[in-house]
Amino acid sequence: MGAQFDTSACRPQDLGKFEITDRDGVSRLGRLFTNHGVLETPMLLPVVNPNIRTIEPREMWEEFGVQALITNSYVIWKHEKLRTPALENGVHELLDFPGVIVTDSGTFQSYVYGDIDVGVKEIVAFQRDIGVDIGTMLDVFGRPDQSIGELREAVNQTVERAPESLEEAGSNLLLNGPIQGGLHDFLRSESAEKMGSVSGDFRGFTVHPIGGIVPLMEQHRYLELVKIILAVREKIPINSPIHLFGCGHPMLFPMSISLGVDLFDSAAYALFARDGRLLTPHGTVRIENLKEWPFTSRILNGISPSEVREMEENERTDLLARYNLEITQAELAKCREAIRSGKIWSLVEQRSHSSPQLREAYLFLKDRLSLNNDFSSSEIISSSSPVRSGSERWTSDSKSRPHLLHANMLIRERWNPPLTNWKGGIIEKPGVLLVLSGRTPWRDSVKSDIIRSLSKNPNLIPMIQTPNGLLPYDLEDWAPLCHIQSFDSIWSTLPIPSDETLRELGLDPSNLSILQSSDEVVEKEIRSQIFSWLEQSQISAKCSVFLRASRESTAEWLENMTVDRSSTGRIRNVFTADGRHVLSPRLRDGGISLTNEGAKDLHSLGEGPPRLVLEKDAIPFVRDGRNVIHGFIEQVDDEIIPGLACLIVDSDGDLVAHGISKCTSNEIMQFNKGIAIRTRGGIKIQESK
């Protein structure tokens, strides 16, 4: 298994850089560049006690796919029999581990046992000298039960020790800069801000662990844990990995990852094994009374719980520790896969039922997200791509999924009713034609009824009531809003939207009719006029919501447009009156793609997707169709949304390319490694003039 990881050192200029390769909101798949390979996150660093190796590091590497581990440099420093060989041959040889080695500094020992006898610079120098990849400075542990004064002191002392620690680390040792502050949001965020802005001769802190949380985890105080994560995320540089120090119960992975945590470490796999406890993604299971294993496992396959109970103690601990490591790795793989498939929040919802305390933490988060009146919630929502193929399995929690909240926000902020009706008359006061059917696709189930209704009352705007709220009919194929899977009684009991909701969308609540089905025949000519009005409205709604082009400009731009269609009659490509292909509605997810011609038109209209200014050196490459790389962007508009289009311009504002963003505006200005924008089309010089 270990052979899958390349342990070669990264290029010197990449050391300590972190890039994001995939995301679901603020949960991310990242790559941290080190001297022993690229560490792929989210991941857990198993704690290896260099004196008691429950599972040999080499076995972790070869059999369990462990790419990086954490050990304690203070323990190595303290024991002569470890210190000398570590200094002579390096920590990788001492532990017999070829991957990334992270070390802690002794802070935790000082929390457990009182004072320790090593200096701030001495312990960093030692980590550097034994060849550690990512070391930890000697921070001051802040306990949750301490007074504000004591916690402030822990934060300040840690910050004071930071510059000398970075200096001692030199060019080759990456450092963890822990965040302290107990249960106080203001201290946590102050600590994050200060630790995040310390700069060294070579670099600042590479990783920011959130420290002082072990007592919270021991007491299952997950609500407080979530509040701390939210408080620090506001201030930790967005391009630094976040580590939860001492957190390793698989039950906590999805929720922490959904809030942007990248690294975990824990000795739980070994400690729990010692007293006969098994980790599972749903909580802890004691082996005492088990007759059968309530899960499948490679390690426990072929052996029964009673046989395990009868084993000699060391043998049993070894076996259970291996199982605990196996399940830990499996849950992390599940989280990573959930990020790739855009399902991290549905995993969070499932896992939130594992314990009352976890559910309490989740319910708090759900409320915060629904209110969306603080920095973290708005960051989580606005970084969640609102267009994604696939379906949405509906539960009572689903409404708070960030990508759905984001979709609703875009409808509220960017969607407007069409300006004219199918007869060409101005719609002064748009009424509502409410669709209360859950039979999708709506274009098949209700279109004829809509046409019938509009033939009589042209000033009604068809709107679909869904469990997620109102969806304008002109966005009826927007995935996943068009694929909500829930049982019939949910659809049949959806409420009529409030007057306020309708007014917010520019609709007149006093003119609301509910769509009825009937067999009445509408004259062919009228039917085709309404049909083509509905199609036009669909294109212009998508331009407003996904491309930020107003209905007014789109109406002018696409006057007398022509289209070509798929075999099922859906519009595949849109052409301007002079025959240029400008847009392609996507049948896969209901979004809309720009062509080069389309991007040029929106750019010259002065409207359209948000823009970013590319650095001069990168322009020829991007014009040639290469992706936009972080570090080559000079300036960026607000409102860049992952998964949606953006325009790439030079410093004179001329169009260079258009693409789909992989990140937010804030991330664009802070990351310095990885792809920022997937270029969809480069504009050649002669083309742009």
Applying CB under 6 A, the residues found at the interface with ligand GUN are 104-105, 107-108, 136, 139, 141, 178, 211-212, 214, 245-246
Question: What six digits make up the tokens of 246?
Answer: 């001492």
CB of 222 to ligand GUN, least distance (A): 16
CB of 38 to ligand GUN, least distance (A): 24
Q: List the Cα angle 104/327/310 in 5-degree steps.
A: 100
In 162-239 the beta strands, taken as DSSP E runs, fall at 174-176, 208-210
CB of 583 to ligand GUN, least distance (A): 53
The C-alpha atoms of residue 548 and residue 644 are separated, in whole angstroms, by 10
Question: Is the backbone of residue 344 left (phi > 0), alpha (psi -120 to 50) or beta?
Answer: alpha
The three-state secondary structure class of 19 is: strand
Nearer to ligand GUN, 97 or 245 (CB): 245
The C-alpha atoms of residue 344 and residue 26 are separated, in whole angstroms, by 10
The C-alpha atoms of residue 663 and residue 680 are separated, in whole angstroms, by 15
Contact yes or no for 682/671 (Cβ under 8 A): no
| Distance (Å) of CA 364 to CA 19, 225, 367, 400, 607 | 30, 12, 5, 11, 39
Nearer to ligand GUN, 175 or 405 (CB): 175
Phi and psi at residue 638, in whole multiples of 5°?
A: -70, 170
CB of 105 to ligand GUN, least distance (A): 5
**107 CB-near residues (< 8 Å, 6+ apart):** 136, 138, 139, 140, 141, 178, 211
Direct distance between the N- and C-terminal alpha carbons of the chain, in angstroms, rounded to an integer: 54
> Which residue type, as a one-letter code, is found at position 164?
E
CB of 103 to ligand GUN, least distance (A): 10
For residue 297, with 0-12 CB atoms within 10 Å meaning exposed, 13-18 middle and 19 or more buried, which class applies? middle
Verify whether residue 185 is a known catalytic residue: no
Nearer to ligand GUN, 218 or 523 (CB): 218
Nearer to ligand GUN, 105 or 664 (CB): 105
Nearer to ligand GUN, 217 or 547 (CB): 217
Q: Which of 104, 262, 477, 589 is catalytic?
A: 104
Contact yes or no for 312/302 (Cβ under 8 A): no
Residues in the chain: 689
Phi and psi at residue 437, in whole multiples of 5°?
A: -110, 140
CB of 212 to ligand GUN, least distance (A): 5
| Distance (Å) of CA 370 to CA 258, 363, 367 | 16, 11, 5
Question: What six digits make up the tokens of 144?
Answer: 């949750």
Nearer to ligand GUN, 211 or 342 (CB): 211
Nearer to ligand GUN, 178 or 431 (CB): 178
Nearer to ligand GUN, 42 or 178 (CB): 178
CB of 213 to ligand GUN, least distance (A): 7
Residue with tokens 């979004």: 591
Question: Is the backbone of residue 336 left (phi > 0), alpha (psi -120 to 50) or beta?
Answer: alpha
Residue 220 CB neighbour total at 10 angstroms = 16
Nearer to ligand GUN, 109 or 354 (CB): 109
Question: What six digits make up the tokens of 682?
Answer: 């480069």
Residue with tokens 């601990």: 317
CB of 107 to ligand GUN, least distance (A): 3
The three-state secondary structure class of 582 is: strand
The three-state secondary structure class of 299 is: coil
Residue with tokens 């004591």: 150
CB of 268 to ligand GUN, least distance (A): 12
CB of 138 to ligand GUN, least distance (A): 7
Q: CA nearest 159: which of 103, 201, 204, 123?
A: 204
Nearer to ligand GUN, 212 or 402 (CB): 212
Closest residue to ligand GUN: CB criterion? 211
Nearer to ligand GUN, 191 or 408 (CB): 191
Residue with tokens 């009991």: 493
Nearer to ligand GUN, 38 or 102 (CB): 102
DSSP string of 524-557?
HHHHHHHHHHHHHHHHHHHHHHHH---HHHHHHH
Q: CA nearest 41: which of 49, 32, 33?
A: 32
Count H helices and E strands in the chain, helices first: 28, 29
CB of 328 to ligand GUN, least distance (A): 17
Contact yes or no for 408/667 (Cβ under 8 A): no
CB of 64 to ligand GUN, least distance (A): 22
Phi and psi at residue 570, in whole multiples of 5°?
A: -85, 150
Residues with a known catalytic role: 104
